[in-house]
Amino acid sequence: MWDPLSWGGRVRQPSPPATWETQISEILERLRNRGWRLTAQRRAVAEVLSASPVHLTADQVHQRAAKRLPEISLATVYNTLHELARMGEVREVALDGRACRYDPNALVAHDHLVCRSCGTIRDIPKRDASPEPTKEESDGFEVSSVEVVYRGLCRRCRLRQRRSA
């Protein structure tokens, strides 16, 4: 039976929270082990992604990386993000026609909460897996992954909505 948590064997269960220094060290070590040349620009992007559980757009990653390394270009940020996504270190999350965001929590199985007003995306622990579609339901479709997205209003948007009502 297909296991929606398997994602090609790269998913791991959450481990105890690590310090930021430990987390960035682990990421940089994984990248080095894959033969990735760690330039100052790539390191800056990896550090920005590791510093926050927030799902940032490429522009937001660029703004934060430029604080660390002012000469970094937006093209370099895009190229680095695409490389990291291809390697499975980040996930590209494109929802509701908004700008693509980059999920730094790619190695841990989780679902998403998405604010329908501001577009904020938050990770939540994965709930029980959905059953595999039946042969009739799938009509020959080969399922490779499952994403669960809960939509609603974040606390900030709910409060803003109440004040304006």
DSSP string across 16-40: S---HHHHHHHHHHHHHHTT----H
Longest dimension (CA), the chain: 55
**Domain extents in the chain:** 7-164
Confidence of residue 80 (pLDDT cuts 50, 70, 90): very high
**Angle of the 74-87 helix axis to the 58-68 helix axis, nearest 10:** 110
Q: 21: which 2 tokens?
A: 């220094």
Q: Are 57 and 121 in contact (CB under 8 A)?
A: no
CATH topology for the 7-164 domain: Arc Repressor Mutant, subunit A (1.10.10)
- Residues with Cβ < 8 Å from 41, sequence gap 6 or more? 65, 69, 72, 76, 77, 80
pLDDT digits (tens, 9 = 90+) for 118-140: 888 888 888 776 677 787 887 88
- The arithmetic mean of pLDDT across residues 7-18, rounded, is 40
- 72 pLDDT higher than 80: yes
Whole-number Cα distances in Å, 154 to 117, 120, 123, 132, 162 = 8, 8, 13, 31, 12
Q: Which helix or strand (DSSP H or E) is residue 120 part of?
A: none
Confidence of residue 21 (pLDDT cuts 50, 70, 90): low
Q: How many residues does the chain have?
A: 165
Residue type for position 50: S
pLDDT digits (tens, 9 = 90+) for 23-54: 677 778 888 888 888 899 998 998 898 887 78
Q: Which helix or strand (DSSP H or E) is residue 140 part of?
A: none
* b/e sequence 64-83, b meaning 16+ C-beta within 10 Å: bbbeebeebeeebbbebbee
